[in-house]
Amino acid sequence: MSLTNAQTRDVEALLHPYTDLVRHRSVGPVIFERAQGIHIYDDKGKDYIEAMAGLWCTALGWGDGELVEAASEQMRKLSFGHLFAGRSHEPAIALAEKLKEIAPFKVSKVFFANSGSEANDTQIKLYWYANNALGRPNRKTIISREKAYHGVTLASASLTMLPANHRSFDLPFDFVRYAECPHYYKSASVGEDEVAFSERMAARLAELIERDGPEHIAAMIAEPLQGAGGVILPPRGYWERIGKVLERYGIPLIVDEVITGFGRTGKWFGSETYAMKPASMTIAKALSSAYLPISAVLLGDELAAAVEAESGRIGTFGHGFTYGGHPVACAVALKTIELYQTRDVIGHAARMSPHFQDRLHALCAHPLVGEVQGVGLIGALELVADKQSRMNFSSLHQVAATAAGFAQDEGVIVRPLMGDRLAVCPPLVIVEAEIDELFARLRRGLDRTLEWVRKEGLLGN
């Protein structure tokens, strides 16, 4: 099939992230023209349910007039302003105050950036900076986890523990240690219940800390649930036990809420859902419902005090981004939070969650589906060659990617992840009828995948 003019122009001009760039030359992109609510439309007029909210981010859906107006009004008033050298503006001040108000832990200061990657990169620098200020220059190791996703800058990609983010990039850097991924379905021993599995994960974390030396560890960073690594939910008792280990060794916890913040799990923050105790927090994505790029680091008292003191000793805090705290992005983020509150979007997500999870878990009966996990309005299913043995397909067959392609043909966009998992993460404004249509389209995509898998002889028994 020949490419259209627009597809050809794309292939010749753009370098696409997370794309097989050689294959892309022959198949070209899907080009989208417009969107409204939870639906997005391509250049041929076909509609899709955007069941990934873009990239886990467009919580209020597309085309919200109040967000458009907030951006327009601020752009007319102050189209750009930076926060360097003590300068400021009302949108950044008001947004920082609002974030301190709604955060699930005591926040002292807010630092703005433009993406989750930049914010997590900043987290590393802040803890190194603070430990130098506190006379602990050897505390530089950051503990992450297998299948974690924390970004793609050189430092944050080192926190990310997915093979494609490291291969041929000469990563990871050696300041990171990786705790085990707490995927009960894949890693539990025979007869081991979730609580016992969580206890084993906590014991293994303690062993890692002892092996490296707690005096060398600056912090642990973790998502409440592991998003791009497969939507892997923590097993029962996991965060309670991990928290006790960190407390025992005096290691602060950086909570990465880039995906789970602002209602995704049915509460304002995923750390509330799982009773985590952040020392600092990263937020992005739904902070502005993805209408404009913005992220933030929320600093607790101890971290903020150390950073301030060190800047006084040096004479400046030598870190920042030109567009960090951009007034238009801050205005849109502030309006987004206002809409979450006035429209009870978080409550709506919690009310939609049981129906969403029922429809998601019903797919466990499908011949291809081995595991289903979900909470709030996020979930994933794992495709397996044999349900009884939990045997995966060979990665060479790219079964999840093929399934996502069939689902897209049926008019629903989901995301294939490592381990043949399919993620579903719709806008929080989705309603029951739309949830039903989403899963009807997805099931048709799975049925087509099953037909293809059988034809290719890829099933186990």
Give the pLDDT score at 297: 98
Which tens digit of pLDDT belongs to each residue from 286-297? Answer: 999 999 999 999
Give the pLDDT score at 459: 86
Judged against a pLDDT cut of 90, whether residue 1 lies above it is answered with no
Q: Which CATH superfamily is domain 31-63+344-456 in?
A: Aspartate Aminotransferase, domain 1 (3.90.1150.10)
Residues 6+ apart with CB under 8 A from 187: 180, 181, 197
Q: Which residues pair with 219 in a beta bridge?
A: 142
CA–CA dist 173, 117 (Å, integer):
15
Could you give the count of Cα atoms lying within 13 Å of 86 in the half-sphere of its Cβ? 3
CA-closest candidate to residue 230, choices 392, 104, 440, 48: 392
Q: What is the maximum span of the chain, computed from C-alpha positions, in angstroms?
A: 69
For the CA atoms of 293, 299, 305, 309, what is the dihedral angle to 10 degrees?
Answer: -30
**DSSP single-letter state for residue 268:** S
Tell me phi and psi for residue 193, to 5 degrees: -80, 175
Considering the chain, what percentage of its residues have pLDDT values greater than 70?
100
Which tens digit of pLDDT belongs to each residue from 416-456? Answer: 999 999 999 999 999 999 999 999 999 999 999 999 999 99
Which tens digit of pLDDT belongs to each residue from 333-364? Answer: 999 999 999 999 999 999 999 999 999 999 99
| CATH number, domain 66-342 | 3.40.640.10
Which tens digit of pLDDT belongs to each residue from 130-147? Answer: 999 999 999 999 999 999
Please state the rounded mean pLDDT for residues 404-421: 97
Judged against a pLDDT cut of 80, whether residue 29 lies above it is answered with yes
Helix (H) or strand (E) holding 113: strand 109-113
Contact 336, 288 (CB under 8 A): yes
CA–CA dist 295, 287 (Å, integer):
7
Buried b (16+ CB within 10 A) or exposed e, 81-102: bbbeeeeebebbeebbebbeee
CA-closest candidate to residue 448, choices 391, 407, 401: 407
Give the pLDDT score at 53: 98
Please state the rounded mean pLDDT for residues 71-78: 98
Confidence of residue 461 (pLDDT cuts 50, 70, 90): low
Residues 6+ apart with CB under 8 A from 383: 368, 369, 370, 393, 399, 400, 403, 420, 421, 422, 449
Domain boundaries in the chain? 31-63+344-456, 66-342
The mean of the pLDDT values for the chain is 97
pTM, 2 dp: 0.96
Locate all alpha helices (DSSP H) within 234-370, ordered by sequence: 238-249, 270-273, 301-314, 327-342, 345-362
In the chain, the amino acid numbered 20 is: D
140's tokens? 């530089």
CA–CA dist 428, 266 (Å, integer):
9
Considering the chain, what percentage of its residues have pLDDT values greater than 90?
98
For the CA atoms of 129, 134, 135, 136, what is the dihedral angle to 10 degrees?
Answer: -70
Confidence of residue 321 (pLDDT cuts 50, 70, 90): very high
Please state the rounded mean pLDDT for residues 199-225: 98
Could you write out the DSSP letters of every residue in 215-240? GGEEEEEE-SSBTTTT-BPPPTTHHH
Pairing of strands 109-113, 295-299: antiparallel
